[in-house]
Chains A and B, each alone.
Chain A
């Protein structure tokens, strides 16, 4: 349910990096621990990007598994359920090695000279969903 708020943050970040060029694709790395529902994020992204240079852009999500590491016993393991104690030593000094990413990795932009109202937008609009 926080995908609306997260979608806003994504669109703002992309607009800031697009430098007024039209964006055709956004590549994100999202950790499993962020509890993002991909379909919901795609839905909001499409709505929130309307009337910006990001409108019509494809949003590609790479989901990063959650890997934890226990400091005292150096065990590293992958989790898919919310259990954050070390299964070996039951220790609490556990940190996430990966799984907390919420990063815009890169964007595809079309050169300003190519942006001629109709054609570009049409091409980009085939992508989302």
Chain B
């Protein structure tokens, strides 16, 4: 049998990245700033979003809600009267544990890009796979909660390294836990010294104002930037 070696030299995620670029082009065209929001299940992504989506100082926020199944999170956010688009990864997508660029693309026609300034894509709760798949976002933010322990950054560096901002959530629970906030912050810094970190509590609202300012600045920076 005759065998031939074929040079490929292609990043195996190129196909995804190409679609992510197409998404990005559409977002840029609409002037919408896009955040890919990731975390482990239960870190508090939806509760954090409930804290900011209606109060971002004039910034109109829309949410693209990724979940394996159900619309529990989307229902919570819809109750706040912000445009929410549900994207289930098990309805024709094979129950994926993350969003990829193509899934986001398939839902874009339902997102009112003309009516919003910022789209927050709430990814499927998972500390590994979402980090591999860009979806066309401007920035990546992750939430980690103090209840997850101190070593998560060291165990899941891929995710922590992928983000520009890490929110350390549930700090109101610190007095009840045997974890050190300093240790968590040190471990995040060790894995991703370039990342900004903010300590917050979605429950009490502590630290949320600083996050809101950060998010608002993203949109204002874009508005101020030359086209």
Interface positions of A (Cβ within 8 A of B)? 1-2, 4-6, 9-10, 12-14, 16-18, 21, 24, 28, 33-35, 81-85, 91-94, 102-111, 113-114, 119-120, 123
B15 at the interface (CB under 8 A from A): yes
**In the complex, are the beta carbons of B10 and A104 less than 8 A apart?**
yes
A6 with B132, Cβ < 8 A, contacts A102-B11, A106-B5, A120-B1 known: yes
Pairs A–B under 8 Å by Cβ, sample size 23: A2-B98, A2-B129, A5-B96, A6-B12, A9-B12, A9-B15, A13-B8, A24-B3, A33-B157, A33-B158, A83-B190, A84-B161, A85-B190, A85-B193, A93-B194, A103-B12, A105-B7, A105-B8, A106-B9, A107-B8, A109-B3, A110-B2, A110-B4
A93 to B193 CA separation, bound complex (whole angstroms)? 8
Partner of A2 from the list B3, B5, B128, B153 (CB cut-off 8 Å) is B128
A106 with B158, Cβ < 8 A, contacts A12-B15, A13-B14, A85-B190 known: no
Q: Which residues of A contact B211 (CB under 8 A)?
A: none
Question: Which B79-128 residues have C-beta < 8 A from chain A?
Answer: 96-98, 100, 128
**In the complex, are the beta carbons of B154 and A82 less than 8 A apart?**
yes
Taking residues whose C-beta sits less than 8 angstroms from the other chain, chain B's interface range is 35 or more
A103 with B157, Cβ < 8 A, contacts A5-B98, A111-B4 known: no
Tally inter-chain residue pairs, CB-CB below 8 A.
Answer: 111
Shortest CB-to-CB span from B89 to chain A, Å, is 11
A94 to B131 CA separation, bound complex (whole angstroms)? 19
B138 at the interface (CB under 8 A from A): no
Q: Which residues of B contact A113 (CB under 8 A)?
A: 2
**In the complex, are the beta carbons of B11 and A114 less than 8 A apart?**
no
Shortest CB-to-CB span from B36 to chain A, Å, is 16
**In the complex, are the beta carbons of A5 and B3 less than 8 A apart?**
no
Q: Which residues of A contact B6 (CB under 8 A)?
A: 17-18, 106-109
4 more CB-based (< 8 A) A-B contacts, given A2-B98, A4-B97, A114-B1: A35-B128, A81-B154, A82-B191, A92-B193
Contact string against A for B residues 141-181, beta-carbon threshold 8 Å, 1 for contact and 0 otherwise: 00000000000011001100100000000000000000000
Q: Which residues of B contact A1 (CB under 8 A)?
A: 128-129
A10 with B12, Cβ < 8 A, contacts A5-B98, A33-B158, A92-B194 known: yes
A82 to B187 CA separation, bound complex (whole angstroms)? 9
**In the complex, are the beta carbons of B158 and A34 less than 8 A apart?**
yes
Q: Which residues of B contact A24 (CB under 8 A)?
A: 3
Shortest CB-to-CB span from A113 to chain B, Å, is 8
A91 to B13 CA separation, bound complex (whole angstroms)? 30
Question: Which B1-50 residues have C-beta < 8 A from chain A?
Answer: 1-16
Q: Which residues of B contact A82 (CB under 8 A)?
A: 153-154, 157, 190-191
A13 with B12, Cβ < 8 A, contacts A1-B128, A83-B190, A84-B193 known: yes
**In the complex, are the beta carbons of B7 and A109 less than 8 A apart?**
no
A104 to B97 CA separation, bound complex (whole angstroms)? 23
Q: Which residues of B contact A2 (CB under 8 A)?
A: 98, 128-129, 131-132, 158
Partner of A108 from the list B4, B133, B157 (CB cut-off 8 Å) is B4
